[in-house]
Amino acid sequence: MATLSPFLSKTPLSNTPTISFSSSISTPLKWKSITSFSPSGSSSSRSRRRIFIVQSKIREIFMPALSSTMTEGKIVSWIKSEGDVLSKGESVVVVESDKADMDVETFYDGILAAIVVPEGESAPVGAAIGILAETEAEVAQAKAKAASAGAAAPASHPVTSTPVPAVSPPEPKKVAESAPSGPRKTVATPYAKKLLKQHKVDINSVVGTGPFGRITPEDVEKAAGIAPSKSVAPSAAPAALPKPAPAAAPAAPLLPGSTVVPFTTMQAAVSKNMIESLSVPTFRVGYPIITDALDALYEKVKPKGVTMTALLAKAAAMALVQHPVVNASCKDGKSFTYNANINIAVAVAINGGLITPVLQDADKLDLYLLSQKWKELVEKARSKQLQPHEYNSGTFTLSNLGMFGVDRFDAILPPGQGAIMAVGASKPTVVADADGFFGVKSKMLVNVTADHRIIYGADLAAFLQTFSKIVENPESLTL
């Protein structure tokens, strides 16, 4: 009698077939039904039982979605090589998402039979990047599957529409030559099947020119010796003559010595976010703040590991508590959300891009714990080890270029947030007091960019006044 697969639970068999899997299997399963009878002679006492046996044990390793904004990932390196034996939960490959490099683990035990996407190449989320076989016996079959998957990928791009084969007949031959020589299932469109019956044409005698060798109605008419009903296709060709558009590309030649550098995954994600931000109606408000007291506090707490970024993040979080609308967000243009948490995202420049680690619940953490958390986030960001929740959960963003001596600048609003604050350098400035006496004080300029759909000028001005009072009287920051 056939043996049960190790993936099947050993439960008592009953009239109703029961099966449970330890984990989901990505490849289609082939089932074999075995009917057994009790040894009793009477037909009335016969009990029919069905046992299902899993015959397919080849699985695909998919490109995971490592963040909510990730559409494709790049293979940084394969930790394992082809032929290596893998255990469930073991790291197999390092994938670069739009924000970080992360290890991808296997959900199954088995052998890494084939690597579909090599190091340095990208694949969309959900695409197969490797093939896993359960035993040595399936390795060859898994490699064949990987080879067919690799061959099918480029073949899917040239196929744009069905009339194309009628204009350029050589292409169907290429499809036919690239098709596997072994037995395969011939696929035809519903209308093509109807024509096959109508003209009594053997389906095995027809060469399909559609995507992946699919038989189209034109293929059936050609095999039956009938003039294709869409013979007017050539007349449509002149309409395609406005293809000089691609020729416009060479009109802008590169300057001598120029180099074209493709975006990294992170740069592509930043570019996408910046384009999305153009759809949001924003406005900007600037505000001058005297920082003498903040600078004095910073000199006291700096030896304890507190950074100026932590001070500013804490001050912003305390101000947001009093002005929750500035911490709100609008994502669909029809409603907005008052966020329950105040998560301050802080922009950090790293090699080849920009990322915003998030100080979660910044209003609830004391200054020293907040500063320690910030240092940990910066280290993880620069080594590209941030987890998704550590960079995509911000409700308000802080961008500080003051350390570079920048007086003022405007920041672009990140998609999904209500406001972003741009902080300039604190510089000695001549100011007049209430009595008209002049003096020199340190002053910095902050500019806030806000979503005008949910935040109005008065809201932002009130928030900046509160932020200014906290910075100019910073004792509350250490409480």
Whole-angstrom distance, CA of residue 313 vs CA of residue 174: 61
User: Structure tokens of 464?
Assistant: 């900046």
User: Structure tokens of 32?
Assistant: 């074999």
DSSP for 297-344 reads HHHHHGGGT--HHHHHHHHHHHHHHH-GGGG-B-SSSS--B--SS--E
Read off the DSSP letter of residue 165. H
Read off the DSSP letter of residue 188. B
Whole-angstrom distance, CA of residue 414 vs CA of residue 420: 8
Read off the DSSP letter of residue 136. G
Read off the DSSP letter of residue 230. T
Whole-angstrom distance, CA of residue 92 vs CA of residue 89: 9
Place of tokens 């570019």: 271
Known catalytic residue at 452: yes
Read off the DSSP letter of residue 76. E
Phi-psi region of 251 (alpha: psi -120 to 50; beta: other; left: phi over 0): alpha
Quick count: other Cβ atoms within 10 Å of Cβ 434? 5
In this structure, are residues 84 and 92 in contact, taking their beta carbons and an 8 Å threshold?
no
Give, in order, the Cα–Cα distances in Å from 125 to each of 61, 103, 106: 11, 15, 16
> 433 pairs with which residues across the strands?
none
Q: What are the residues whose beta carbons fall under 8 Å from the beta carbon of 430, sequence distance 6 or more?
A: 438, 439, 440
Catalytic, out of 157, 199, 323, 452: 452
Q: What are the residues whose beta carbons fall under 8 Å from the beta carbon of 456, sequence distance 6 or more?
A: none
CA pseudo-torsion sign 384, 386, 388, 393: negative
For residue 370, give the 3-state DSSP assignment: helix
CA pseudo-torsion sign 252, 258, 259, 263: negative
* Residues annotated as catalytic (active site), given as ranges: 452
